[in-house]
Structure 1
């Protein structure tokens, strides 16, 4: 399996946000400006060294594509986290990092909507990008519920305060501190939906917090299709990540595959049980990919027509699957013709 198409990016600055969180801003050369266009809520995959191996790690963009600013990812240290601790301990302005182009589907379709945003800890990173983009480009109201252990853990405290002062009629920020209010519950969080008839909910944070928000949305009577959840898992190292190009899978079929990517359309033949990403790479199609285990969403694409089964999926939620998204690195055709389209 070929190495993903990483680009060398220079780190323009490193910002110490809190005692355990840093932001990294990147300089994007002119020839890569189109490649690194992004939408609010997306992430970058960084290739970080570890002993004699490499670790792909996904970090959300906290910058907004609608502001005149550098691309910025924010990284919070994780206990025994190999990627986060290496980045925070070693990277300084002027260094270069290997970075994949932006990816991810945790993106609003319409910035004019009313947004009910929930963030836990470093989960505020993509939520901040959505919040600032909605305030800049949209007309709706925005309410952010931001949960942390204590006041010292609040990332972007000053920026959030400035935004609340600047947009008093549209933006409301509610801080929830476990050290003061105790742990959140679905009943508590459901109260924060008051006054929002049909909001778009975006939530990112620790798994128990996100499950709590999903339950709160049900209590508040909000349509589950309006709830968007961003989940990240720790990806295997490059030496650990195994990938089978052809698998035994019930119902699989040899297929004629049509691929739309970067403004071009290619048609190739795939063997019975051949993973679609493997077939594309075999034919020289440079489809985006990283983890190869269905966890990072770098290879996500739209199933335009045909049928596929996913061997594994830790990246797409039920709403994204219903919208037609799939993962090329885990997709096996179950029909004689399949048409995939990668995002522009």
Structure 2
């Protein structure tokens, strides 16, 4: 979206999906609507109120599809002891407002017109159904979904999936796996499901960690190349990405020796870069609306490319070796190494 900082959205509706999962339909302010663009499979970071005015942040996938659903929608499933999911399911009602960060995430296809294979476990269906709806909205492209759940009552989007199959019987196939009937899905059992579809353009996997590990093993065993497999891995954020950045240190000799030039939205900015200050914090402190979401190196929303000089990242959970080789870094985790650095977000 064009406005890269936090914004406040209104909850238009709360949809009970199952006994322990609900969807929030979000209304975006008019002045931000055109810029609130997202890709199928991405997520939003929400601010969850806390005691004494403190807050925490949680990431929830968008279950809506751009160009298909009229409003963005996220889906939240209760987690035992989960501060974010339980607060949302217990408290959020239509008319409530929530602070969110822009859509982010790499769990999204490069193209929608191919033949896709999906493995979802439990609430892992949330970003997957977003991609499936986007694929089916194209004139061509197919989807096979293998969807594992505890039992029939825990199947999120059951009615919506039935409707999608009825409307696209030759383009969408849904295979349900119920633990109450078939037991826990093993790698061998998942491989049997995957084998007829091993030649598909890409596979997308989202769900509990053991399920995703079993799917990854299954896909390897049927010969699907690793570069065709996209896995979504969430972790709880430990900090508050909505907080203001820490004040910049006083300019000393080592500060003024390092200079960075940043290109963002066609504008060039140049200033000293304190040696221990992440690039994102530097830009925000200068009033430059650089993109970000988690501020913990886990989502790629702040990715930018170093075109001159050298930086180092304090943490990186998302960029692959080929990304690093092309100069991509995470702005929220990058600190300077060389004296003159150039970075572009464009």
TM-score when scaled to structure 2? 0.86
Q: How many Å apart are 1:298 and its aligned residue? A: 3.7
SS of match in other structure, 1:74? strand
Task: Tell me the CA shift for residue 332 of structure 1.
Answer: 2.7
Residue in structure 2 matched with residue 154 of structure 1 by the alignment? 155
Cα offsets for 1:33-75 (capped at 9, x unmatched): 1231111011111111021210111111100102142110000
Rg larger in structure: 2
1:33 corresponds in structure 2 to 33
* TM-aligned CA distance change 1:324 to 1:222, over 3 Å: farther
What aligned pairs does 1:124-143 form with structure 2 within 5 A after superposition?
A: 124-137=125-138, 139-143=140-144
Is residue 339 of structure 1 aligned with residue 340 of structure 2? no
Query: CA, structure 1 residues 331+86, in 2 after alignment: closer, same or farther (shift >3 Å)?
Result: same
Task: Look up the match of 1:206.
Answer: 208
Distance verdict in 2 for CA 1:322–1:84, change over 3 Å = farther
Give the Cα separation in 2 of the matches to 1:272 and 1:322.
23
Alignment match, 2:196: 194
2:90 match: 89
Q: What is the rounded CA distance, in whole Å, between the counterparts of 2:306 and 2:318 in structure 1?
A: 16
- 2:179 maps to 1:175: no
Q: Check conservation: 2:15, 2:24, Cα contact below 8 A.
A: yes
- Hey, what's the Cα distance between the residues in 2 that align with 1:319 and 1:309? 16
1:141-162 deviation digits (Å, cap 9, x = unpaired): 2111111111111100000011
Determine the C-alpha separation between the residues in 2 that align with 1:324 and 1:172. 40
Tell me the alpha carbon deviations over residues 214-239 of structure 1, each in whole angstroms, 9 at most, x when there is no partner: 22221121121111111111112539
Question: Is 1:231 aligned with 2:238?
Answer: no
Moved more, 51-60 or 270-279: 270-279
SS in 2 for 1:104: coil
Q: Is the 8 A contact 2:61 2:127 kept in 1?
A: yes
Unaligned runs of 5+ in 1: 247-253
Tell me the CA shift for residue 293 of structure 1. Answer: 2.4
What root-mean-square deviation, in Å, do the aligned CA atoms of Structure 1 and Structure 2 show?
2.8
Counterpart check, 1:329 vs 2:336 = no
Instruction: Pick closer, same or farther for the CA change 1:324–1:69 going to 2, 3 Å.
Output: farther
Tell me the TM-score normalised to structure 1 length: 0.87
Q: 1:179 to 1:46 in 2, by over 3 A?
A: same
Mark the CA change 1:182 to 1:301 in structure 2 (over 3 Å): closer, same or farther.
farther
Structure 2 residues not aligned, in runs of 5+: 250-256
Aligned match of 1:251:
none
2:239 is the counterpart of 1:221: no
Deviations for 1:103-143, whole angstroms, at most 9, x for unmatched residues?
11211111111111111111111111001101112522211
Contact 1:231 1:315 in 2 (8 A): no
1:144 aligns with 145
Change over 3 Å in CA distance of 1:92–1:242 after alignment to 2: closer
